[in-house]
Structure 1
């Protein structure tokens, strides 16, 4: 058992994994900046792709150079997934293990999604969420499961907001990045937490109304903001917050602890 743990630790500390994970941070940063750009277009009634991960990936996949960049992103997300998987076996705290396990799944999903758009088989996040919700609610107890998923997403959103307010994200960094990056992290985590909270609420509403179309992911969350009172302002502020998260992710290329 100790030999296996030592092997995992060697993988965790390898230079190649370090470089790959930083590529993943850069990929996450670029995607969030693109999502913010698409959200601003929606706020000002300009046509464009959905302001979510699938919309950002579809934007990059429009030409050959973008597809090459997506392939690099796939490698980066796989490296991040491998890094988080290694932390599951190396980290002692149970909560840290659970978080690393969840992030492993998230990064694998992001890598698969990017690869799907390279292969021209990508689907919108909204349709994926809607189809998943519809499939689950066909089964006995499915509505309860969708509601529980929504509550879990809301919980993750609250965690992100607290992480931003209390600057808990600084422990992800190997050195203090300075006041400017700290504030982008605060704003970015807060905005992402609010967005996730709205996504979770839409899942709960979908379960309550037995209407799978309500659960439409980040695209649906931002559309909800757009149709609220002062929606244009709210959506613009959310876009700036997501852009801040993108900038913080790019800063992790230099300052991130791997």
Structure 2
């Protein structure tokens, strides 16, 4: 047996581990709770109560709850396990001649990186060393702009981000999320589908707004304009009927959070 086949067999065995998949489901639940809090903060911002409507703001809210530290550590464990599971799934496509399998591997690897980043952010709050997503985004944008051709590179990052948001909207409208879950065939299914559609569309619009801010930052050569998801949502509040738009996005993020919690049980793992 070649080294590559041995590694792939080991990855498949680890990916099929019942313990790992059960912990990974906690990752979906933790993500759901985070999106619920993000949506709640977005609604508060729309009503002029302030706050940060991104991952950092959500984890900061958790620290104020009586059982917040325990929930944060569960989020670290669950999101880390989910990232590992996705990374193992990505590795199973390596070496395959199928283009679709390569594409699926790249998508899984991207999702793994996102969950590892969320796990890291949750860890900083669990260790009482909170990090700001907005500051991190601005610092990263400034680093990109300082590179040769950085303006064009940041614009590409913005277009790619907006493209991801567009895909999330498409996934919600076309119900592509049904490939990710196993419905129970009961009367609750339409409610799950409605939550998923609303959530994916709302989250997609928020990510598109984030991509637009990256592009604006590239055009103006101003890292301050690339203020992360919190800045993207707050920029929506400045549009005509912005308060209503932001409330709708906030409620949509809460719908995505509820769907993610349900997905913890229904996910195909």
Calculate the TM-score normalised by the size of structure 2. Answer: 0.92
Q: 2:148 aligns with which of 132, 137, 140?
A: 140
- Residue of structure 2 in register with 1:192 after alignment: 203
After superposition, where does 1:84-99 map in structure 2 within 5 Å?
Answer: 84-91=86-93, 93-99=101-107
Q: Which residue of 2 aligns with 1:131?
A: 139
Aligned residue number for residue 43 of structure 1: 46
Compute the displacement of 1:128 (Å): 1.1
| Residue in 1 that maps onto 2:169 | 161
Aligned twin of 1:241: 252
CA apart distance, 1:123? 2.0
Give SS of 1:140's match: coil
Match of 1:30 in 2: 33
2:7 is aligned with 1:4 = yes
Give, in whole Å, the separation in 1 of the partners of 2:64 and 2:149. 41
Root-mean-square deviation (CA, aligned residues, Å) is 1.3
CA deviations over 1:97-147 (Å, ceiling 9, x no partner): 010010111011000010011122222211111111112212221111111
How many residues in Structure 1 have an aligned counterpart in Structure 2?
Answer: 257
Distance 2:65 2:259 in 1: 27
SS of residue paired to 2:239: coil
Q: C-alpha displacement at 1:199, in angstroms?
A: 0.2
Residue 64 (structure 1) shift? 6.2
Partners of 2:49 and 2:206 lie apart in 1 by 21
Of 120, 136, 153, the match for 1:112: 120
Q: 1:220 to 1:86 in 2, by over 3 A?
A: same
Tell me what 2:243 maps to. Answer: 232
Q: Gapped runs of 5+ residues in structure 2?
A: none
Corresponding residue of 1:201: 212
Moved more, 133-142 or 230-239: 133-142
**Tell me, which stretches of 5 or more residues in structure 1 are unaligned?**
none
Matched position secondary structure for 1:122? coil
Deviation at residue 2 of structure 1 after TM alignment = 2.4
Q: Give the TM-score normalised by structure 1.
A: 0.96
Runs of 4+ in 1 over 4 A off after TM superposition: none
**1:53-72 equivalences in 2 (<5 Å):** 53-62=55-64, 65-72=67-74
Displacement of 1:4? 2.1
